Structure formats: structure tokens, C-alpha cells
Structure 1
Amino acid sequence: MQFVVHIGMDTSAKAIILEQCAKNRSYQDADIRGFRPACGECLPDGPEVIASEVSMKAVRKRIAVEGVEVIFSRDAGRYVCDYTYYLSLHHGNGYAALIHVPRLSLWFPARLLGKALQVIIQDMLEELRKPELEASFAENSTVAIPAQGNQLGDCSFREN
């Protein structure tokens, strides 16, 4: 089992948004390349909603990054991020996450975004290591390990 984290930019967001679930229907807008799902749905006869195995509400409550607001959402919209998230949740049996981030700016620089994402993703990985989820997740998982001495919060990766 692998855990996939998607990062999508929401140009209207003023906070980092942890998306709990993705919806199958009502896709009307085309993506940047003109792709639009047939009949406005991700998977014909797929479940209406698929939720992540990670409790985004619990992650939101546990984490804190100075200068960053983090919020919880149950509606990722109906655009390429939600479409991709739905398919990841479906094919990954719920082991995926979608984090919407605001546009980089003077009040939200890349350094702060990197730190916030590091804290959030580390918390998600720790939640997946809880005894009730660990057995199903441990096989073939990829773990992010913070690189020593790197102040930008880059991660190195190792295979379990």
C-alpha cells in the first residue's frame, strides 16, 4: 500500500486547506489542456464520495505552524485537483491526501509553505502508523524523512 499526497494551488485561498474527500460527479469545467471528464464524472458507477483514510480534521487539530492558518474541508471543488484526488482515493483504497495551498506571496513565502507542508505530511504519516492502520499501510509504503541540516525542510525518501 502506498500513500499519495497531492498539492494543488487555490488562487483564492488565504489558508492551507486539508481536503477530506473527493466527489465523483458534477465536473463541468475543462482543465488547462481542455480535458473534461465524460458525462461530468470521474468513474461511471463509482461511489459518489470517497474519503481519505487520514482524518484531515484530526490532522488540522493537531498541527500548528506559526504564521500559517490551516483549515479542514469536505469539498475540494470540481476541477482537476478533485478529479485527480478522487481517482487516487479510488485506486489507492483511501490512502491519499489533497492539500490546497494559497498562491505564494510576501505574506506566504515558499519557505513558510515548505515548513507547513513538512509538518502536515509528517503528521499524516504518523496517523497512518496508528496500530489500526499500520498493518494495511506498512507493506510497500514510502516514508519521508526530513534531511538533516536542511533548513528549507526538504525531505529524503526511503523505501520500507
Structure 2
Amino acid sequence: MERNSNRTVVVTGFGPFGEHTTNASWVAVQELQKLGLGDEVDLYVYEIPVEYQKVLDLIPSLWKRHNPQLFIHVGVSGMATTVTLEKCGHNQGYKGLDNRCYCPDNHCCVQGGPDCLESIIDMDIVCNKITDPQLDVVISVSKDAGRYLCDFTYYTSLHLSHGKSAFIHVPPLGKPYTAEQLGRALQTIIGAMLGVLERPNAKMNCQLGH
């Protein structure tokens, strides 16, 4: 039997919360699933509830199940007007309540962990590589994923994967992009990320204030 040499990529979006009764991140991930990442990439997608404890349970479980080359998380930001590549996740400062009106007592992801962890993927390089004239979406780079479930998930994933994770923020649907536009943007971005994955130049332990 021929061994499957495909790369494995896991992509998550979030379920509803607050005013986001339809979460654009999960809609965008479902659009990505329709498009796929090509014949050489096995794509798995999952919806994550907006709950701290679910994140702490699910992220390690999915890593163990798939051992992916890259684990990508997509979240919605009500303030975003671009598709935003997040450089790093933060360990401290989690005070917002989740869907179960809970937040961690210590307000952090990993007790004793570094304040900031960066992806091994250089997001500036990814952003600069995306020159597809058919992609009618503006892409930007950020150092602040927001200190809520998005940031919490990103840090948790970076800590487990030794940096082999990425986080992408999308705007709410129609503000200004359609689900189809967001799905194509994710497909293009993830393709670019896989292209630079062999260039692990990012610092894993970032002590700078973001």
C-alpha cells in the first residue's frame, strides 16, 4: 500500500458569541473547505466553541489526532476591515467572559509561560508574497490578537506546537467581504504560509511589549 505523503493542515473557526450570531470565521473556514488546498494537502476543519475550557481541551486533542504540519486558527474581529495575519499570541490579560460567563482565575493561558510566543512563519513575508490580482481582499499584519478567545487559542496552540501555528482574523460578513471572498483569501494565505514554512526565522520567545 502506497504511503500518503500529503501534508496535513488543520484549520479552525469559532462558533457564535455575542453579536456574532453567525461567526464569519467559521463561515470562511467552511468556504475554504469547499475550495480545498490542492491534492497534496489533507485539510481538516473544526468549529471551536467560544469557551476557554473547550479550547484547552480541543487544541491538544486535535494536535494529537492529526499532528499537522500547520495548525491555523481563524477568528472574527468586529473592528477589522482587512484580513489580518497575527504575528504572536499573548499569555496574560484574559479578563473577558466566554459564552459560559467564565474566564481563567489567573487570567493567563499557561501558568509560568512566556508573555508572548511568535509563529515560526514570518507573517510579513506571507503578506508580501500574496500578489494574486484576482484576490480582491486587503491583507494586513498585526501584533495584537485581542486578549480574548482568539488570542487565548493562538497562544495555547503556539505553546503546544513550538510555533507551528498561525492565526488569521477576518471582518464580519459583508463588512466588507463576502463568505466567498474570505474563503478564497484563506486558501491563498494558507498556500503562502506553507510556502514559507521551511523558514523558521521568528523568535519563539518575544519579550517585547505588544
TM range (shorter): 0.7 to 0.9
Is 1:48 equivalent to 2:48 in the alignment?
A: no
Matches within 5 A, 1:85-104: 85-104=154-173
Following superposition, the deviation at residue 53 of structure 1 comes to 0.6
Q: In structure 2, what is the Cα distance between the partners aligned to 1:94 and 1:106?
A: 31
Q: Structure 2: where are the runs of 5+ without partners?
A: 1-66, 201-210
Gaps of 5+ in 1: 134-160
Question: 1:79-126 CA distances to partner (integer Å, 9 max, x unpaired)?
Answer: 001001100000011000000000111741111111111000001011
Distance 1:26 1:104, change over 3 A: same
Of stretches 97-106 and 112-121 in structure 1, the one that deviates more from structure 2 is 97-106
* Residues 105 and 43 of structure 1: CA distance in aligned 2, closer, same or farther (over 3 Å): same
- For residues 41-92 of structure 1, give each alpha carbon's deviation from its aligned partner in whole angstroms, at most 9, with x where no partner exists: 1111001100001111110111135321110011111000100110000001
SS of structure 2 residue aligned to 1:40 = coil
TM-score (norm 2): 0.59
Q: 1:122 to 1:41 in 2, by over 3 A?
A: same
1:30–1:106 distance in 2 versus 1, CA, 3 Å: closer
Alignment of 1:29-40 (within 5 A): 29-40=96-107
1:22 equivalenced with 2:85 (yes/no):
no
Q: Matched residues in 1 for 2:193 and 2:174: separation? A: 26
Q: CA RMSD in A?
A: 1.5
* CA positional deviation for 1:30: 1.1
TM-score, normalised on structure 1? 0.77
Paired residues in the alignment total 131
Give the secondary structure class of the aligned counterpart of 1:114.
helix
Q: How does 1:47-86 map to 2 (within 5 A)?
A: 47-65=114-132, 66-86=135-155
> In structure 1, what is the Cα distance between the partners aligned to 2:108 and 2:81?
29
Partner amino acid for 2:105? A
Match of 2:191 in 1: 122
CA distance in structure 2 between the aligned counterparts of 1:116 and 1:92, rounded to whole angstroms = 24
Structure number with the bigger relative contact order (C-alpha 8 A, sep ≥ 6) is 1
Secondary structure, aligned partner of 1:75: coil
Are residues 107 and 84 of structure 1, via their aligned partners in 2, closer, same or farther at CA, if it must alter by over 3 Å? closer
